[in-house]
Amino acid sequence: MLEIKNEKRELFWEIFSKQNRLLIDEFQKYMDKFAVNFNLYKDGNFIERSLPFDVIPRIIDSKEFDKIDKGLSQRIKALNLFLEDLYTQKKIIKDKVIPEEFIFQAKGYLKELNGFSPNKKIRTHINGIDLVKDTITNDWVILEDNLRVPSGASYPLSIRDTYRKIYSDFFEELKIKPIKGYPQILENAMDYVSCGGINVVLTPGRFNSAYYEHAYLAKKIGAQLVRNDELIVKNKILYFKNYDGKLIKVGAVYRRLDDEFLDPKFFNPESLIGVSGIMEAYLAGNVAIMNAPGNGVADDKGIYYFVPKMIKYYLGEEPILNNAPTYLPYFEKDRKYIFENIHKLVIKDVAEAGGYGVMFGHTMTNIQINDLKTIIASNPRRFIAQELIEFYDEECYINNEIVPRKADFRAYVVMADEPKVWQCGLTRYAMEAGNYLVNSSQGGGFKDTWIMEA
């Protein structure tokens, strides 16, 4: 279902329809030439591919986005307070707001970090929050919090300049909010928590799915793009090894690898992409790591259920943006509801991400449903269930025609002294009609998002 066109969407289509078809082809050829790459691992094979891009942007009214801005700022404040509390005083557990087993069984919880506070007590530096717009209520609903290593911010940045070159009419006639400020916001956040020294972006290397973004953002924020073999820890201080062998102190690391690979000395000894001793430097307060290790507990899908309670507990406020209706089989009442309605629910494995571990009840056979019930009953903490939200489609230009496709919206929030919500974001769409999975790792594409002023 497509959203009813408002005045701004109508104005866009009026201009778009006047554009010469050659301009559309020119845009597509340019994007093909300077492709945004997203690497996939499928069936044990490495596949390097261009991320599908759509020339038709998503348009969000600035007044509508104001609510998203306020709601996400509120949510990130609460999540940051939760993480700081969890690894220090644990008041939320003592007050029984969240069952302690939910936290201690979360895959991303790192008991080794208990008692440690990072610089400025900020843990949620760079956050990607996934939302959809419900066709029934017309409200934006939060589907997922990504507080570990969220990706995708570089994609709209990389195409906006192309829009300005080829579709200059849009920017003359439409009041589209500029987005160039994101790199500066990110750089400011790194400087704010830096422990003194240069900023670096730590990448696993070119075979990582988001390597394009690592290199792009490092250049934009003036940080050094580094691999693990270019960093060394001495006396609990992290250094970058310059090309001439000189050691330069590192103050902040924007790491683009998961906790378990970050430090073979502290986590997985078999990691070939981590920096030995970086956690020692971090725990000594000599370097900032963004995002903070241990954040994975907060974007565990089971913990997601409790975020509205966190907002009330830490901020004394009602949530501005709601979660999708969610049920935890851990609770007997919820488990009963899930088993009675599983055919119309979406079941998610709490430890999975990127569209993996998602099961749609309406597509499953009775045998598959019964098998899933057995698995859920044996390990209820492993799953959540959500109502299937019929969210809006977006118009996409695919195979020379305009067609509707399911699309979500990833908003980015950068935390320094206060959360800052980027006035843009990543709209992801499914390539196939009727597909609800829009993730890049599931073959989805992306489009620019225009926040338009009145």
Q: Would you state the pLDDT for residue 210? A: 85
pLDDT for position 42: 54
Residue 161: predicted pLDDT: 78
CATH code, 196-286: 3.40.50.11290
The pLDDT assigned to 37 comes to 59
pLDDT for the residue 175: 86
SS (H, E, C) the chain: CECCCCHHHHHHHHHHHHCCHHHHHHHHHHHHHCCCEEEEEECCEEEEEECCEEEEEEEEEHHHHHHHHHHHHHHHHHHHHHHHHHCCCCHHHHCCCCCHHHHHCCCCCCHHHCCCCCHHHCCCCEEEEEEEEECCCCCEEEEEEECCCCCCCHHHHHHHHHHHHHCHHHHHHCCECCCCCHHHHHHHHHHHHCCCCEEEEECCCCCCCCHHHHHHHHHHHCCEEECHHHEEEECCEEEEECCCCCEEEEEEEEECCCHHHHCCCCCCCCCCCCCCCHHHHHHCCCCEEECCCCHHHCCCHHHHCCHHHHHHHHHCCCCCCEECCEECCCCHHHHHHHHHHHHHEEEEECCCCCCCCEEEHHHCCHHHHHHHHHHHHHCHHHEEEEECCCECEEEEEECCEEEEEEEEEEEEEEECCCEEECCCCEEEECCCCCCCCCCHHHCCEEEEEEEECC
Return residue ranges of the chain for CATH 3.30.1490.270: 325-387
pLDDT at 34: 57
For the domain 325-387, what is the CATH code? 3.30.1490.270
pLDDT in the model for residue 48 = 63
Which part of the chain is CATH 3.40.50.11290? Answer: 196-286
Each of the 454 residues of the chain gets a pLDDT tens digit; together they read 777 666 667 777 776 666 655 667 777 676 666 556 555 555 556 566 677 888 888 999 999 999 999 999 999 999 999 999 999 999 999 999 999 988 999 989 999 999 999 999 999 999 999 999 999 999 999 999 999 999 999 988 988 877 877 777 777 778 889 898 999 999 999 999 999 999 999 999 988 878 889 999 999 999 999 999 999 999 999 999 998 989 999 999 999 999 999 999 999 999 999 999 999 999 999 999 999 999 999 989 999 999 999 999 999 999 999 999 999 999 999 999 999 999 999 999 997 777 788 999 999 999 999 999 999 999 999 999 999 999 999 999 888 788 999 999 999 999 999 999 999 999 999 999 989 988 777 778 898 899 998 6
This prediction has a pTM of 0.93
For position 138, what pLDDT does the model report? Answer: 95
